Structure 1
Amino acid sequence: MTKKLCGTNYPISICFIVVNEFCERFSYYGMKALLTLYFLNYLHWDKDLSTAVYHAFSSLCYFTPILGALIADSWLGKFKTIIYLSIVYVIGHVVKSVGAIPTVGNNDVHIALSLLGLILIALGTGGIKPCVAAFGGDQFDEEHVSERQKFFSIFYMSINAGSLLSTVITPILRGDVQCFGGDCYALAFGVPAALMIVALVVFIAGSGMYKRNPPQGNILLEVCNCIGFAIKNRWRSLKSDPQRNHWLDWAEEKYSKRLIQEIKMVLRVLVLYIPLPMFWALFDQQGSRWTLQATRMNMAFGDAFSIKPDQMQMLNALLILVFVPIFDLVIYPLVRLCRINVTPLRKMATGMVFAALAFGAATLVEVNVVKTVVDPPPAGNCLLQVFNLANGSISVKIPDSDLFPEPIQYLEDPPEYKTLLLGTSSKDLMMQVTFEGTAYECEQMFEQEKAYSLILYSSTTGIKCKLVEDFIKKNENGNPLLRFLSTETEAIDLTVGAVTFQVPANYNVSANRTVERGEYPDVSCHSESKECGPLNLGLLDFGASYTVILTGEGLSNIVPHKMEDVKANNVHIAWQIPQYVLITAGEVMFSITGLEFSYAQAPANMKSVLQAGWLLTVAFGNVIVLIVAEGAGLEQWKEFLLFAGLLLGVFFIFSIMAYFYTYVDPDQLDKFYLEGSGKEESDDDNTKKKSNDINLKKTEKSTRL
């Protein structure tokens, strides 16, 4: 006898399943939120490769549920499948965490461990995806339909709670905890691994209370076999047999008319799925391209707090919890009051429009974001800026160039980099530097596609020059970059926050280091002989690159002069909120409505076939992004615009398909499917089928399952 919660019809076993799902979703979304920045900053991949691998992983996570369903329904059953694949899941998380420890091997080892971990995680999360929710539904007796409905609402809330909390917490663990001299990816991946271990332990702890149904055979496999037999039989009988009304009728020699009729109906719905991957191609870029966009934005909310670029993904989980009741209780009823027929397919088409608008908003944001980015020099050119450290104005003349027509003032912050034409891979230039009426020669070697700072300073013999290479690429995690140049004759050590700089003497430049965004009014400063601080660097802002020139008469009077080599991000992260609002509104109308429509238009025992088809649309949507990211080579705003345009094109195609689609009344489905079978169902069978309809409809309330 199943144990119940006190005074209710709820089995105690569902508590273990809900906690398991919360921990599993925390582990999955917490790990996934970090992936793009991990690829960029830890594995040092470029943006396109990082995006491609991110979406390849996402795609694999939606291909593997078919494997999990086959194992559960045809071999092990749901309980054992969840146990065994959760163990694979845990191993994947552990391998992924170990791969993020810098002391474990070289970069090739980290890449190998990371990819292996992701493959195992994809097998685990995808494999248990079709099992956990259905296993929870199995715990209820058939007569407790209302309790089962409430269970799936709680189950759905646990999914979104896990997603929301993880996308807030794991970026904090990554960025605010320092380990091995940088962002602590090992800890940030380790916590989701620990949560997955908790999920497995909790699920096993309830094993003595579960109701377990034995494997009943996989309907998806039977459908595939039936279709395959029909095609093969049709091909063999191409000339000898007369034509039949439908190509699936060629399977009648082996399969029942009922099954064939059911497959026909399912195929009508699956045809409507063909355009759907384009929606997911846009939707799943929240964790890749939109996160990369956030790294180039200002993430400070005044002096109160700042957020991490990978934390913005929590908006989707938060907004969907708000939007679902608003749409169901307010928006849809208001639309109906206006006498507009709100059909499921119209809702889905409108969701596509909202997703396209979200990418239109992302395009506008991106156009303004790139204004602070320094474009790399094209082939045959380099970038150049000048720091004048001589106590007076200086004129710089470069052969066959007029880059600096005006004199450069003492300690002037260069307004922007100038593009210097070289014409060859490298070029030795003799520049003329004029100071107080005296001309000096300055010879330096420049290489194409690089950025340089030319440092001019006084010496006992006149004006000297020194060329240093600059790093103009914005930091991928959004934090500022900082370096120091000292005019002193003694080396200096500086500590900025938790980062130490060793500044060489005599107009040499320290290494570029990443520091946390913030105010730095009292930077410690000392040399081997004495203290020279504290120094006030002021605000070091998101996305900027600074050169701080240290001048003075002796270490006791050092003054910092902050130069902004790359401009700080001046577009606030709040401008991403509209695109998240639009994409989430699109998700509510597209995803939830699409699943409800699909299940209402198919027989109860074909729900799993449609679930597999739906998950495959998500998988193929990620494949689209993978192809575009690696193959298109477009500027980011153009890529966003391309995706918006493609989805609008798909919207028109889908709308035409929807116009010609004939809805089937769910109450008449059983009669429709039984035509030609010569068999009537009993009242008990009908009751059970309706119960299964409710069960399966609730289990797939959101793609977060």
Structure 2
Amino acid sequence: MEFEKHTPTVVGDTQKLSSQDLESQDIPAGNSKDEKLEISIRSQQPSDNQDHSELPRDATEDEIASLPHVTDKVPFAAWAVIIAGAGERFTYFGLIAPWQNYMQYPQGKEPVPGALGLGQATAVNIYNAFFLFSFLTPMLFALISDLWLGRYKTLMLGLVLYLAGSVILIATSLPSALDHGAGIGGLAAALILTGLGAGSVKATFVPFLGDQYLQSKPQLVRRKTGNLVVVDGPRTLQFIYNAYYWFTNIASLGSIPVTFLEWHHEFWSAYLLAAATLSVSIALFAFWSPKLVKVKPQGNVLPQAIRVLVCAAKNGFKLDHATQTYQRTHHNKLVKWTDSFVEEMRRGMIACRVIFFLVIFYLCIAQMYNNLVSQASQMLLGGVPNDMIQAFSGVACIIFGPIMQGLYEVLARRKIPFGPIARITTSFVFCGASMAYAAGVQKLIYTTGPCYDHPFNCPESGDGKQPNNVSVWVQLPVYFLLAIAEILGFVTAFEYAYSKAPREMKTVVQALTQLTAGVASLLGMAISPVSKDPHMVIVYSCLAGAMGISAVVFLWRFRRYDRIDSQLNQF
């Protein structure tokens, strides 16, 4: 289905206002920006004189405040995108899971398989460079999506690039290709193509999934039990993204068969499985294409947004001073944008400021794919691949995902607020705890023989074959803590970026949020020279401390946004 714009069918979060309504309000001059926004929206709320004779109908302000909120029915199109997207995630985890071993260790080394022999610090650096590249490219694909192709076609383009990179990686990881020196060149080409593919997915998938659920005002409905409830759009969107993340973590278990293939049948077989799954994902997107909601390109408003920001900077760095009304009144100047566009930008910038605070969070999560893999290799594996342990993060997400969704339902029924800012803050706490625990595990490794703080680098290791005498299962709580952090942090970030961004800028805002992960990758590259023995206890401890500080500052800076969260949503 092609839509010039969404035609709302069922639900939203609260009474939604047009931007023209917002700009027409007479707001007291002394109020803060957030207070202005809250007052302007409350002044438009409907009266509560409606009866229950005809249901469903738009819910009143009192009904929204007093009645239980429930999720709406999730359309088939959303489930289709979730399932096909899970295939792409299987490929992503299937490709990156073996990379640390592939890059760090030489071919034929025991007990850990390898190929290129670049060492831990260099491998971590390449890892972070890839992540940086894949987090910078979303802006390119956001422009392509908004100006020319739309989200669906841009997503499909990225998946094809993804597949091309996977095929190159398969070909150049064959033993004969490695023997002829094709490994490094093939890896470089594969990283570029898969980075472009990942960038396309990061820019388009989350807003494309959100597009599948069409929203309107909150609806009052009567359940079969006779109870009145409010069908809540943002809670439905939260459920959709939680469901996607749950399926994503099922897909992440693909790292288990991939790592066993890596250990027992060479790296190329692992990459072959990942590429085959991606082919299925592309086929599903194509097969279900007629049933998917596809928003046509609406023109990129980024140049106009930049002009608004420049105007605000010239007028005391106040966005209010960039409005058409202010410019006409104070400077007798006519600008090309409307007051409503400036108001939409204000809400979108709130989302960007919140998401940009996830830099340290992204950096800590990235440890799962490099330094924590290396940490596991220094421990007694008992026949388990060192790069398979990270799969337990996915297992934990599968377990805790429904539990967290149930917790949200209980809190909603009891009217206990647990808004997005509170959820992200809690995710920071769990993430910091995971890094603190990782520091403790590393300290245990360094205080245990045979090689203590230089694992594999002592005569007692038998030419680098004997790790320190610590079981790898001691590392498991790190992944469980990170899993809870991911559920609370990433899912909320998806929802926040989509619901707060202006309609014409949802792909751009999603791309901008990926810059946060790009900055995290830059920080990862900066600390990579010290990401080696015997400094890893300090590295993990510093990450834990930085995460704790981020949690405190984040809550202090943004907690007020939870009070007006429903008014900030833009659908």
Partners in 1 of 2:498 and 2:211 — Cα distance?
A: 19
CA contact (8 A) 1:358 1:582 kept: yes
Shift of the 545–656 alpha-carbon distance from structure 1 to 2, 3 Å rule, reads: same
What is the letter of the counterpart of residue 640 of structure 1? Y
Residues 1:649 and 2:542 are matched in the alignment: no
What is the letter of the counterpart of residue 99 of structure 2? L
Partners in 2 of 1:578 and 1:321 — Cα distance?
A: 15
What is the match of residue 315 of structure 1? 392
Name which structure has the greater RCO, CA cutoff 8 Å, separation 6+.
2
Greater shift after overlay, 595-604 or 111-120? 595-604
What is the letter of the counterpart of residue 576 of structure 1? Q
TM-score when normalising by structure 2: 0.71
Aligned residue pairs: how many?
466
CA contact (8 A) 1:345 1:594 kept: no
What is the match of residue 162 of structure 1? 251
What is the letter of the counterpart of residue 91 of structure 2? S
Partners in 2 of 1:575 and 1:244 — Cα distance?
A: 52
Partners in 2 of 1:18 and 1:266 — Cα distance?
A: 25
Give the number of the structure whose alpha-carbon radius of gyration is greater: 1
Q: Any residues of structure 2 matched to 1:402-413 within 5 Å, and which? A: none
Larger strand proportion of the pair: 1
Over the residues paired in the alignment, what is the CA RMSD in angstroms?
A: 3.8
* Deviation (angstroms), 1:615: 2.2
Residues 1:291 and 2:275 are matched in the alignment: no
What is the match of residue 38 of structure 1? 102
2:145 to 47, 58, 72: 72
Q: Any residues of structure 2 matched to 1:615-694 within 5 Å, and which? A: 615-630=514-529, 635-658=535-558, 661-663=560-562, 665-666=564-565, 668-669=567-568, 692=571
CA contact (8 A) 2:88 2:281 kept: yes
What is the match of residue 156 of structure 2? 83
Partners in 1 of 2:75 and 2:554 — Cα distance?
A: 43
* Deviation (angstroms), 1:105: 6.2
**1:641-667: CA deviations, max 9, x gaps?**
1211222232332233135x4556355
CA contact (8 A) 1:171 1:311 kept: yes
Q: Any residues of structure 2 matched to 1:20-39 within 5 Å, and which? A: 20-39=84-103
* Deviation (angstroms), 1:45: 0.8
What is the letter of the counterpart of residue 652 of structure 1? V
What is the letter of the counterpart of residue 646 of structure 1? A
Partners in 1 of 2:351 and 2:284 — Cα distance?
A: 38
* Deviation (angstroms), 1:253: 1.7
CA contact (8 A) 1:374 1:566 kept: no
CA contact (8 A) 1:97 1:189 kept: yes
CA contact (8 A) 1:353 1:648 kept: yes
CA contact (8 A) 1:336 1:342 kept: no
Shift of the 195–546 alpha-carbon distance from structure 1 to 2, 3 Å rule, reads: same
What is the match of residue 477 of structure 1? none
Residues 1:325 and 2:402 are matched in the alignment: yes
Residues 1:348 and 2:412 are matched in the alignment: no
Partners in 2 of 1:230 and 1:10 — Cα distance?
A: 40
CA contact (8 A) 2:91 2:275 kept: yes
Larger helix proportion of the pair: 2
Q: Any residues of structure 2 matched to 1:430-509 within 5 Å, and which? A: 472-473=456-457
* Deviation (angstroms), 1:204: 2.9
* Deviation (angstroms), 1:176: 1.9
Partners in 1 of 2:81 and 2:557 — Cα distance?
A: 40
What is the letter of the counterpart of residue 39 of structure 1? M
Shift of the 15–617 alpha-carbon distance from structure 1 to 2, 3 Å rule, reads: closer
**1:562-592: CA deviations, max 9, x gaps?**
xxx9755321122112111222222233333
SS of 2:470's partner is coil
* Deviation (angstroms), 1:317: 1.5
Greater shift after overlay, 86-95 or 634-643? 634-643
What is the letter of the counterpart of residue 518 of structure 2? A
What is the letter of the counterpart of residue 352 of structure 1? F
What is the match of residue 358 of structure 2? 276
CA contact (8 A) 1:358 1:578 kept: yes
Shift of the 16–309 alpha-carbon distance from structure 1 to 2, 3 Å rule, reads: same
**1:303-362: CA deviations, max 9, x gaps?**
xxx42111111111121222233234348957998x986443233223212211111111
2:483 to 584, 589, 593: 584
Partners in 1 of 2:536 and 2:373 — Cα distance?
A: 12
CA contact (8 A) 1:78 1:135 kept: yes
CA contact (8 A) 1:248 1:264 kept: no
SS of 1:118's partner is helix
2:513 to 609, 614, 619: 614
* Deviation (angstroms), 1:92: 0.7
What is the match of residue 129 of structure 2? 56
Greater shift after overlay, 287-296 or 199-208? 199-208
What is the match of residue 92 of structure 1? 165
What is the letter of the counterpart of residue 638 of structure 1? I
**1:400-437: CA deviations, max 9, x gaps?**
xxxxxxxxxxxxxxxxxxxxxxxxxxxxxxxxxxxxxx
Shift of the 325–219 alpha-carbon distance from structure 1 to 2, 3 Å rule, reads: farther
CA contact (8 A) 1:173 1:188 kept: yes
Partners in 2 of 1:618 and 1:375 — Cα distance?
A: 34
